[in-house]
Amino acid sequence: MITVKEVKHPREIKAFVKFPFKLYKGSPYWVPPIIKEEIAVFDKDKNPAFENADARLFLAYKNGEIAGRIAVIINRIEIEEQQKKKVRFGWFDVIDEIEVTKALLDKVTEIGRDHGLEYMEGPVGFSQMDKAGMLVRGFDKLSNMTTIYNYPYYPEHFKALGFEEGAAWLEYLIRIPDEIPQKIDKFSDVILRRYKLRVLRFKSSKELVAYADDMFDLMNRSFKDLQSFVPIQKAQIEQYKQKYLKFIHPDFIKFIVDENDKMVAFSITMPSFSRALQKANGKLFPFGFLHILRAQKTNDSASLYLIGIDPKYQNKGLTAIIFKETNRLFQRRGMRYVESNPELEENTAAHLLWKYYDDNEQHKRRVTWVKQLHDM
């Protein structure tokens, strides 16, 4: 017998967060989150996304054991300002039984209808800054801390239940060349001169944070026409500045500005923390943080976290500048591989960057699933 219960108490939230640890135990590809940080995501006092959104969490039980989980999200900005009559769902995990998947999705339908909405889409989070997209190709590839991993039966459940693909993202694995190709080196310099641009370099995180508002403003402008995008709000920006940007080494953040110091492009990369997080297994203490510190200092792999280019400068060669700058960094630090963050299929400006790499593999694809509520 399958029952679905809403999560109400702290111990139930902890059970919600820890369910994937049991589900993916022994998987060489799943990368666990830090449990304490994941619990904080659902704390209204700690996550500013709740200023513009509501979330209800549910656990599915079979024979008294947790068999699945789901978060149902109402994003008021998306519904009221963007006029998208959508109920979101995320943090979806389930055993390989389609009846459990259906029971969880029935809760999404129920809440969506109660709010007068027309369709559901997921897996997504509160906003663009959360993990999104169900893996449909690349199940045998190592995940990373910014993406969702799931078993191959997940998409099969959704197809069987009549869902259709919504947004789609591509990911690339690239071998970093030993030298920057001469044509790219020269082309980058030409673009800098032609548009009177310059690359900002920082010696400290404090210097970098001063440009953070400009970066998020550019991100909102460059991503605004992409599917599933909801503008990042001021309170969320402040949280990301305090929680993340202060702890990223300034070498890994590249800002490009015009002659008036207006930001026109940025990229954020990080050392890959996938193996370190697997060793930490959800806990920073007593030894988890040591694995992360080690990965930060010595690492042959990097992850591209974000890239944004002002719409006025897209398709004008700025990706060559980013290529040159990031490759200098990788070579200086002895990194051999970089994995892209998921990039929407229609985000051609981001995909252009990878054409400069001869040794690249489009190794993962992920999608959201969409269904009209009247079909449920």
Query: Among 262, 239, 267, 259, which Cα is nearest to 324's?
Result: 267
Residue 175 has pLDDT above 70, yes or no: yes
Residue 113: partners with Cβ closer than 8 Å, 6 or more residues away:
373
Please tell me the predicted confidence (pLDDT) of residue 374.
82
Domain spanning 2-167+369-375 has what CATH number? Answer: 3.40.630.30
CATH level 3 topology of 174-367: Aminopeptidase (3.40.630)
- Which range among 36-45, 47-56, 93-102, 177-186 shows the weakest confidence by mean pLDDT? 177-186
Asked if residues 338 and 301 have their Cβ atoms less than 8 Å apart, the reply is yes
Asked if residues 343 and 308 have their Cβ atoms less than 8 Å apart, the reply is no
Provide mean pLDDT across the span 351-373.
88
Asked if residues 148 and 122 have their Cβ atoms less than 8 Å apart, the reply is no
Asked if residues 230 and 75 have their Cβ atoms less than 8 Å apart, the reply is yes
Indicate the helix (H) or strand (E) that contains 173. Answer: strand 164-175
Residue 74 has pLDDT above 60, yes or no: yes
Please tell me the predicted confidence (pLDDT) of residue 152.
98
Provide mean pLDDT across the span 310-327.
89
Asked if residues 125 and 73 have their Cβ atoms less than 8 Å apart, the reply is yes
Q: What percent of the chain has pLDDT over 70?
A: 96
In this predicted model, what pLDDT tens digit does every residue of 22-32 receive, in sequence order? Answer: 999 999 999 99
Residue 376 has pLDDT above 60, yes or no: no
Residue 102 has pLDDT above 70, yes or no: yes
Residue 229 has pLDDT above 90, yes or no: no
Please tell me the predicted confidence (pLDDT) of residue 336.
93
Residue 240 has pLDDT above 80, yes or no: no
* Listed ranges 219-228, 321-330, 362-371; the one with the highest mean pLDDT: 362-371
- Which range among 30-44, 117-131, 222-236, 358-372 shows the weakest confidence by mean pLDDT? 222-236
CA 18 to chain centre: 20
Residues of the chain with CATH 3.40.630.30: 2-167+369-375, 174-367
CA 134 to chain centre: 11
Cis peptide before 271 (omega within 30 of 0): no
Provide mean pLDDT across the span 153-166.
98
Please tell me the predicted confidence (pLDDT) of residue 31.
97
* Listed ranges 93-107, 322-336, 356-370; the one with the highest mean pLDDT: 93-107
Split at pLDDT 50, 70, 90, the class of 219 is: confident
Other Cβ atoms less than 10 A from the Cβ of 199: the count is 15
Residue 73 has pLDDT above 60, yes or no: yes
Residue 242 has pLDDT above 80, yes or no: no
The chain-wide mean pLDDT, for the chain, equals 91
Residue 264 has pLDDT above 80, yes or no: yes
* Listed ranges 41-55, 90-104, 128-142, 244-258; the one with the highest mean pLDDT: 90-104
- Phi first, then psi: give them for residue 367, nearest 5 degrees: -140, 160
Residue 260 has pLDDT above 70, yes or no: yes
- Phi first, then psi: give them for residue 137, nearest 5 degrees: -150, 135
In this predicted model, what pLDDT tens digit does every residue of 181-213 receive, in sequence order? Answer: 888 889 999 999 999 999 998 888 778 878 888
Split at pLDDT 50, 70, 90, the class of 140 is: very high
Split at pLDDT 50, 70, 90, the class of 349 is: low
Q: What percent of the chain has pLDDT over 90?
A: 63
Q: How far apart are CA 133 and CA 125, in angstroms?
A: 9
